[in-house]
Amino acid sequence: MTSRPRRSGLRLLMSASLLAGLAMPSLPGLAQPKPDNTALPTLGDSARGDLSPVMERKLGEEIMRDIRRDHDFLDDDPILEYLNTFGSALVAAHPGARGETNAEFFFFAVRDPQLNAFALPGGFIAVHSALLLAAQSESELASVLSHEIGHVAQRHIARMLGQQRQDALIPLAGMILAALAARAGAGGDAAMGMAVGGQALAIQRQLNFSRDAEREADRVGFQIMSAGGYDTSGMVAFFGRLQAATRNYSDLMPAYLRSHPLTTERIADIQARIREVPYRQRIDSLEFHLIRARARVLQDESTVGHAEAKAAFDAQMLSQNRQQQIGAQYGLAFLAMKKGELAKAQTWLDKARTTKRSEGTFSTGQATSDGASVFTTLQLEIKLASGQSAAVKAQGLKEAEQAHQQFPLARGIARQYADAMIDNGKLDEATRYLRDQAQQYRDEPKLQELLAKAYAAQGKLALQHIALAESYALSGGKQAALDQLVIARKANDASFYDMALIDARERELKELRREELKEAKKKE
């Protein structure tokens, strides 16, 4: 029996927002796809009034700030980098996939045992960890992400708010109430009751219209994954597995089917489209299997969850597929590392690398992805883990520097390199490096957190709290940022320049905070 992670504010928020984000109504004036099946439909003018592209993105960013702070947000660098590389390639494959707003997409995962995926306003797309594990191939994963990209490209949320504003705001209000109830310490049932209550008022009016939007997203998604070079039969294969789950467990319908009503007509439409395109075999990248292994370990980090992950990896080891075997060995290494069994973790990682070398490089047909950066990340996690000797950590620093040079765009490895410098006492080098990184990547709160850690180790209290203030501000916590600036101002080592910086930043944050409170009052 699969264990259930705790029901968090994030899960309440997501369950309340799924209807608003995905099961969209069919509205008058929707443009139909061109008969040649190559161009994406274009939104008609009549639906643009109520939610501008700027406001749509702002709404998505506000929701994402809450999601990022939740335990169930899978804040794992290799998973985030894989999903964003994978998703961005799908978007780039088809002209117009960004829609009329030229949306900037961000793909992420959340811990959840239900099979689901969802799109938020402004181009934020998530998959549940269970769905990532249920996808048996990259083509199946591509079918899900392409469908969600279709929702964003067609601006289904904006269209709902534009044409049926009253109904649309009901589930959004339910979402907010559920999140507040969860944070205020209300019982899970009470908070869920608020969320479900908000949905129930809107479901009756919207459910009859949602299937047209789903068919539209199917058509757009099919075009995108086909242009990306994926096996389009993966869409039917994934839907078929979900339907089988529904038949076997009628009282436990997968959440993806509840939020994406699946009909025989929709499957028939997809099958007809598949017959119109030549068959294309797509070999999965090794990275896909490594990322699924990480997701399996991170999905449930309880003792029971770890035991279930080990059992799954042991079973996977019996597979005749070498990629599956490598994924299982990597998963056992990651699991051991998480449990603090560092020697065992290194042994399993070495085994995975040996098996990989015996198989050579895996080609996806379009590009080559052997998961090198994912292997390197785990190697550094093991070398830099607490409990390692000074000699091992020194070796980890050398390897981190080499890895940063080899993978200059891997943000997780860039931060591991900074952490390695701090742990090895290279504090001046670390602060110089982090200041340079923070100039290049201004939106990364984790860089400011590391900078604060380095300053703390140097005993530079004012700079430590200034960096913490920046970290909180980037994460959306403007009041917390202001509190840190107050502490920085009182520090004995605050220089004249530091005080000037604190004054300027405080004025900016106070103005932003006033605007934030003003917006909150308007919503009341």
pLDDT tens for each residue of 411-423:
999 999 999 999 9
Helical pair 342-359 and 372-383, crossing angle rounded to 10 deg = 160
Tell me how far apart the alpha carbons of residues 332 and 276 are, in angstroms, rounded to a whole number: 43
Would you say residue 248 has pLDDT above 80?
Answer: no
Residue 76 Cα to chain centre, angstroms: 9
Residue 519 identity: E
pLDDT tens digit sequence for 275-298? 877 777 788 999 999 999 999 999
Q: Is the dihedral angle over the CA atoms 181, 183, 184, 185 positive or is it negative? A: positive
pLDDT of residue 264: 67
Tell me how far apart the alpha carbons of residues 122 and 157 are, in angstroms, rounded to a whole number: 9
The DSSP code for 320 is S
Two tokens, residue 343: 């020697």
- Strands 124-128 and 106-110: what pairing? parallel
Query: How many CA atoms lie less than 13 Å away from 266 in the CB half-sphere?
Result: 23
Cβ atoms 107, 132 nearer than 8 A: no
Tell me how far apart the alpha carbons of residues 300 and 399 are, in angstroms, rounded to a whole number: 30
The stretch 12-23 carries a mean pLDDT of 37
pLDDT tens digit sequence for 357-376? 886 644 444 444 689 999 99
User: Exposed, middle or buried by CB within 10 Å (0-12, 13-18, 19+), for 456?
Assistant: middle
pLDDT of residue 261: 56
pLDDT of residue 281: 78
Two tokens, residue 415: 């931060």
Tell me how far apart the alpha carbons of residues 305 and 388 are, in angstroms, rounded to a whole number: 26
Strand partners, 106: 124
Average of per-residue pLDDT values in the chain: 80
Query: How many CA atoms lie less than 13 Å away from 186 in the CB half-sphere?
Result: 17
Share of the chain above pLDDT 70, in %: 73
Would you say residue 24 has pLDDT above 50?
Answer: no
Q: For the structural domain made of 283-383, what CATH number should be given?
A: 1.25.40
- Looking at mean pLDDT, say which of 59-63, 139-143, 184-188, 519-523 comes out highest: 139-143
217: confidence class by pLDDT, cuts 50, 70, 90: confident
pLDDT tens digit sequence for 424-476? 999 999 999 999 999 999 999 999 999 999 999 999 999 999 999 999 999 98
Q: Kindly state the helix (H) or strand (E) to which residue 364 belongs, with its residue range.
A: none
Tell me how far apart the alpha carbons of residues 173 and 198 are, in angstroms, rounded to a whole number: 7
Q: What is the DSSP string of 14-76?
A: HHHHHHHHTSPPP-TTPPPPPTTS-SPP---GGG-SSS-HHHHHHHHHHHHHHHHTSTTB---
Q: Kindly state the helix (H) or strand (E) to which residue 319 belongs, with its residue range.
A: none
Residue 232 Cα to chain centre, angstroms: 24
Residue 42 backbone dihedrals phi, psi, to 5 degrees:
-115, 135
Cβ atoms 333, 349 nearer than 8 A: yes
Helix (H, G, I), strand (E, B) or coil at 365: coil
Two tokens, residue 120: 């938020």
* Secondary structure of 87-143 in HEC code, one letter for each residue: HHHHHHHCCCCCCCCCCCCEEEEECCCCCCEEEECCCEEEEEHHHHHHCCCHHHHHH
Strand partners, 134: none
Domain ranges of the chain: 31-166+205-275, 283-383, 460-524
The DSSP code for 424 is T
Strand partners, 108: 126
254: confidence class by pLDDT, cuts 50, 70, 90: low
User: Exposed, middle or buried by CB within 10 Å (0-12, 13-18, 19+), for 353?
Assistant: middle
Tell me how far apart the alpha carbons of residues 119 and 102 are, in angstroms, rounded to a whole number: 16
pLDDT of residue 191: 47
Closest CA to 85 of 117, 110, 108: 108
pLDDT tens digit sequence for 379-400? 999 999 999 999 999 999 999 9
pLDDT of residue 502: 97
Helix (H, G, I), strand (E, B) or coil at 475: coil
Strand partners, 66: none
pLDDT tens digit sequence for 310-368? 999 999 999 999 999 999 999 999 999 999 999 999 999 999 999 998 866 444 444 44
A 10 A CB-CB count for 237 gives 16
Instruction: Write down the residue that tokens 């490096």 correspond to.
Output: 433
Query: What's the start-to-end Cα distance of the chain, in Å?
Result: 43
